[in-house]
A and B are shown apart, each in its own frame.
Chain A
Amino acid sequence: MTAVAILLASFASILAVFLTGLPVFVAFMLLNIAGVWFYFSGPGFGMLTNSMYETLSSPTLVALPMFILMGEILFRSGVTDILYRALDVLLGRSRLRLYYLSILLSTTFGALSGAAMAVVAMMGRTLYPGMLARGYDRRLTAGTIMAGASLAPIIPPSVLAVIIASLANISVAGLLIAGVLPGLMLAALFLIYVVSAVAIDPDRAPTVADGRQSVTWGQRARAVLLTLPFGLVILSVLGVILAGIVTPEESAATGVLGALLVSVVFGKLSMRTLFEAVAVSARTTAIVLLIMMSSKMFGQLLAFSGATQSLIDTVSGLDIDPWLMLAILMAIPFVICMFLDSIAVMLILVPIYIPIVGHFQYDVIWFWALFLINITVGGITPPFGYTIFAFKSAVPDLPMREIYAAAWPYVGVFLVGMLLVVLFPALATYLPKLV
């Protein structure tokens, strides 16, 4: 069997096993057993243990549970409600006010939590019903919330960025910071899209500014004061990395400390909240890391089979334009993420992509930042985006076809954003060069 045939067979096998409904980590293990048996027979199984141990004890991945814990503390303690009310006061009386609030909130929550599903579930339950009651367009509202929440894995702290950096063996700090400007740019693009959509069809926003009373300067000042502690949380993650004071793993720890301090300052932290946050974070970590530990051997087997080298030889023999190759490399996860879990897709594709990225001499931070955005879009790409499902669970009355229709325009906005990052690489590479 040629190496390329092995690669295709492996890829087809893993997809087929996934589709049976076998848990993803078990699916990888099954193929690992088959692969080890095929190449090494019995004595090779010791490698399986060591491969799993290496992943689980990787100091790079230590940031992952801490970023999850940070978001859990903030959301479970309820301090995010304070931020919500403060930003609401600061936004004035525009008739698009709640659209702005939705985008601003999701961007801020993105900087406080690394997981889109938590943000979309919370905003779906809190913001969406209020916006609908005030006459905002339900598709535009749903789309704004889903797309805004999808900024969470792009703007640091980001669980996905830690995973990609760890798999691709690049700087975790670099990839985390690389998400800042693209994330903010995407938030700006969402604003532009909302304003344009309402300009084209004015019925998509209420005719008056939802009847709210005018806000006094005293209320505004108080609202600004209320937002300041959240700046401390963002500073305790982003600021300390940018300043070069701590490693990314340590910044995750200082982020947890910042989240705890903010919850204490607002009098919202209880031991029960803390226990629940730690327990949920540990379980979420176990879910992600079990998949990662099982998939590592899959990549190692591919390399051992010669499939990876053969892929490089094949690709280098194609004499293909690097831009076209980039488009192909981005199109593959974009399509697959419509149907499969984004982490599973990453674990299959990253080991295959690493040598190709090296061969075409793409800037690694730029390429993997694009990949990160691409994988994130998968969360809102119908029919099987996880962010879509999380929103549906928060808003069960909204039909799925409406949610799909709400998501598509924002998928388009994301693609425009990715194109801008392709055309202006400094968007992703400028800040990491400062670290």
Chain B
Amino acid sequence: MFGLVASLLDRLVTVLGWIGAFLIGLIPAIYCYEVAARYFFSAPTTWSYESGGYLLCLGTLLCAPVVTREHGHVAIVFVAETLPMASRRRLESAIGLAAAAVCLAVAATTADEVSSQIARNVQTTAAFAIPKWWLTAALPYALAASGLYFIRDAILTRAAPSA
């Protein structure tokens, strides 16, 4: 059961990670289009400036769990590195669980806020407005998926054989 859930999570995160990367890759295309539209066709767009921000928001959040899975987050680890291996493993496991607790707690609060935004039909404050939850809905996903990866790492670290 645990393996199936982990595998499904991996697949979901991979697919959404690619979509996130695609969205980030769209940003330069949109801004180049804006420059061309402004100077070559005298027809500046009304949507490019803000849509860059929207794509950045969604793209970043969809890629975030991929970074967590690959242990890519910045952390100050030099204190942990001075510890003996067994103590270091215990610390890393505890840190993983703490990180998971924080991510899942914030994911829950953001999910609350997203449902409130849906209920109130909150729009982004921009000339090119869209429902805000289209973007913020990725927050609970990014944090919850990262939280699950932190839990998985904590369990695997604890279970790993001593060197």
Contacts and interface: CB of A to CB of B under 8 A. Distances in A.
Interface of A: 18-26, 29-30, 33, 45-46, 48-50, 52-53, 56-59, 61-62, 65-66, 69, 245-246, 249-250, 252-254, 256-257, 278-279, 281-283, 285-287, 289-291, 339-341, 343-344, 384
Given A29-B103, A53-B136, 18 more contacts: A20-B79, A22-B99, A23-B73, A30-B102, A46-B112, A48-B113, A49-B113, A49-B139, A56-B57, A56-B61, A57-B54, A57-B135, A59-B53, A61-B53, A62-B56, A253-B30, A278-B25, A281-B25
A55 B98 CA distance: 24
Interface residues on B, range: 35 or more
A379 B102 CA distance: 29
Contact of B21 (A61, A245, A279): A279
A254 B30 CA distance: 11
B64 A286 contact: yes
Contacts of B31: 62, 66, 249-250, 252-254
Interface in B108-163: 109-110, 112-114, 116, 124, 132, 135-136, 139
Main secondary structure of the interface of A (DSSP, over half): helix
Interface string B31-46: 1101100010000000
Given A30-B102, A253-B28, A53 B35 contact: no
Interface string B1-33: 000000000000000011011101101111110
B98 to A, nearest CB: 6
Contact of A285 (B59, B95, B98): B59
The interface residues of chain B, by DSSP majority, are classed as helix
Interface of B: 17-18, 20-22, 24-25, 27-32, 34-35, 39, 49-50, 52-54, 56-57, 59-61, 63-64, 66-67, 70, 72-80, 91-92, 95, 98-99, 102-103, 105-106, 109-110, 112-114, 116, 124, 132, 135-136, 139
A48 B143 CA distance: 13
Contacts of B116: 46
Contacts of B34: 250
Given A24-B74, A29-B102, A283-B72, A62 B27 contact: yes
